[in-house]
Amino acid sequence: MDKETLLVSVANKAQNWLKGNYDDETKKEVQSMLDNEDKSLLIDAFYKDLEFGTGGLRGVMGAGSNRMNIYTVGSATQGLSNYLLKEFSDLDQIKVVVGHDCRNNSRKFAEITADIFSANGIKVFLFENLRPTPEISYAIRKFGCQSGIMITASHNPKEYNGYKTYWNDGAQVIAPHDKNIIAEVNNIESLEAVKFEGNKNLIEIIGTDMDNAFIEEVKRLVLSPEAIVNNHDIKIVYTPIHGTGITLIPAALKAIGFTNIIDVPEQNVISGDFPTVVSPNPEEPSAMKMAIERAIETDAEIVMASDPDGDRIGTAIRDDNGEFILVNGNQTMLIFLYYLMTRRKELGLLKGNEYIVKTIVSTELVKTIANKNNIKMFDCYTGFKWIADVIRKNEGINKYIGGGEESYGFLAGDFVRDKDSVSACTLFAEIAAWAKDNGKTMYEMLRDIYVEYGYSKEVGISLVRKGKEGADEIEAMMKNYRTNPMKTMGGSSVVLCKDFAKLEAMDYVNSEHITLGMPTTSNVLQYFTEDGTKLSIRPSGTEPKIKYYIEVHGKVNSREELTDAEQKANAKIEQIRIDLGI
């Protein structure tokens, strides 16, 4: 479609919004876009309908068919309601949980969602105010609900919001329910089909009791209570970065025995504008800056942060010089899984049926540790719904002891079926206490993992490509990678290429095609070289980005060799970037 034809199409859609049963504020915003000489905002707001994807909705807030607003949220909820009424027609009462984060309009979207569910005869447990995503997952299981919604755009910029959909096991929906729900949402052709008038008798407000029950579950995860008693006064700086973590994480840390939790007062302020950060993402160094400054000021030992919806964790620890360094997502997962496997072995808790889970783009060093400890490891796609799927399939057969992904998400207990910064923060603090009992800092512990199991360096690179033109460019890039696969990478020959969109791999050493045993396809490419380097490429499912994950390996015999290993790894990563042109 050429630009002139596209402009006519979006203008017609916008005019229909002016004529339709939309509120005055929405119509005013649409008229402003029509009147603006620069039509880029109009095009982006109307060039397509905001897609209800396999995880729900996520987009920029505002008027338009491609925006997060009460009408796109309304259509999504009505479609989901229709599906629930069909799927669970044998139940006397269908039940759902609705929660939300700190973002602008999140409470409004949550209340509208609750109203529409209740208007369809569905019982709603609505949280009294903001709560972390993992608590919504937990509440679904606790109340025996059939579904749940979390209004959040996670760690996206402040102009975004989202609508995450959960199923009756507390995990985000997967096949066949994801596609079936999408079909029902797409069948909503007009606003008249959406039941906006709620039934207040079917909406129950929940809060403190669920908080207390959740924290009790977190307490049961502790493996080193003595270490916590011995080091209860470790100075811990924690920040919620204006988000939901403030409602549970400080209380959970205190509940397991830590007594010296230091806050960042400016970031305790709940705000969808995220006034102290450019991006409310603990993966970003700038988002951790104030917490680290507070830790230096108070002579704290560790720093922890959670993102706005309280599912991701960011951390910082002191190096050998006493300077704070950020721990990346792969390293955090490595520390968690190393501790859980090692500590369980020490306590004699390993029975032979334990397993861990990681995503395909996360560090392969996890697999090395699991193999040496005779613990099964499952690889799954990016996204905690796939880790939850592994847990579901192993329920009653094998024992889940932990799972994570490189994007700062971890799940320590299976009473939740999504990544959980609450139990992750308590676990990180527990590990700090355990390391101290063993005469080590967290930094020394991480370095000793590399000495024992091999050195690994991982770098993630994201290229942002916004709007329709950006989406087209990302699609073209992925097509080019498939048409022209890499033969060498960082000076080492590619020996294996995996294409998860086709569920096929090519083993270049044996000239052999391999079928990939995954539950469904995914738009991911992976390259493996003869020296152990791994490259993964995929478009983000929630942001306008194409993502590259580079992982290189080395062998060290002592802590002293780690500096040289890192320098060599950095040089190889830089060469791979040059090879890719990024």
**pLDDT tens digits for 466-495?**
887 888 899 999 999 999 999 999 999 999
Q: Is the pLDDT of residue 10 over 90?
A: yes
Average pLDDT over residues 30-34: 96
Give the mean pLDDT of 187-213: 96
pLDDT tens digits along 503-542: 999 999 999 999 999 999 999 999 999 999 999 999 987 6
Contacts 24+ apart (CB under 8 A), 464-467: 464/543, 464/544, 464/545, 465/544, 465/545, 465/546, 466/544, 467/40, 467/43, 467/44, 467/544
Contacts of 561 (CB under 8 A, 6+ apart): none
pLDDT for position 308: 96
Strands 203-206 and 488-489: unpaired
pLDDT of residue 467: 81
Distances (CA, A) of 488 to 329, 491, 495, 527: 27, 6, 9, 9
Beta bridge partners of 260: none
3-state secondary structure of 377: strand
| Predicted structure pTM score | 0.94
Which residues sit opposite 306 in a β-bridge? 313
What pLDDT, on a 0 to 100 scale, did the predictor assign at position 324? 98
Average pLDDT of the residues of the chain: 95
* pLDDT for the residue numbered 468: 78
**Residue 154 known to be catalytic:** yes
The vertex-206 CA angle with 200 and 208, nearest 5°, equals: 155
Check whether 298 has a pLDDT greater than 70. Answer: yes
In SS3 terms, 213-262 reads as: HHHHHHHCCCCCHHHHHHCCCCCEEEECCCCHHHHCHHHHHHHCCCCCEE
Q: What is the mean pLDDT of the segment spanning 304-318?
A: 98
Average pLDDT, integer, range 228-238? 98
Residue carrying the six token digits 């009653």: 396
Give residue 51's pLDDT band: very low, low, confident or very high (50, 70, 90): confident
For the CA atoms of the chain, what is the radius of gyration? 24
For 338-381, what is each residue's pLDDT tens digit?
999 999 999 999 999 999 999 999 999 999 999 999 999 999 99
414: nearest Cα among 102, 80, 141, 97:
141
Give pLDDT tens digits for 121-159. 999 999 999 999 999 999 999 999 999 999 999 988 999
For residues 526 and 502, the answer to whether their CB atoms sit within 8 Å is no
Q: What is the enclosing helix (H) or strand (E) of 492?
A: strand 492-499
Q: Report DSSP letters for 269-338, one per residue.
A: S--TT-TT-SS--TTSHHHHHHHHHHHHHHT-SEEEEE-TTS-BEEEEEE-TTS-EEEE-HHHHHHHHHH
The tokens describing 117, both together, are: 């569910």
525 in Cβ contact with 498 (< 8 Å):
yes
Catalytic hit among 65, 118, 154, 522: 154
HSE on the CB side for 522, CA within 13 Å?
26
What is residue 540's predicted lDDT score, i.e. its pLDDT? 86
> Strands 488-489 and 409-411, how do they pair?
unpaired
Do the beta carbons of residue 210 and residue 246 sit within 8 Å? Answer: no
pLDDT exceeds 90 at position 261: yes
Share of the chain above pLDDT 90, in %: 92
Domains annotated on the chain, with CATH: 1-46 (no CATH), 48-206 (3.40.120.10), 213-453 (3.40.120.10), 455-580 (3.30.310)
Residue 1 has pLDDT above 80, yes or no: no
Instruction: Look up residue 253 and give its two tokens.
Output: 């840390």
pLDDT at residue 543 tops 90: no
> Could you give the count of Cα atoms lying within 13 Å of 311 in the half-sphere of its Cβ?
27
As given in the structure block, the two tokens for residue 66 are 């491609």
Q: What 8-state DSSP symbol labels residue 128? A: S
CB 335 within 8 A of CB 435: no
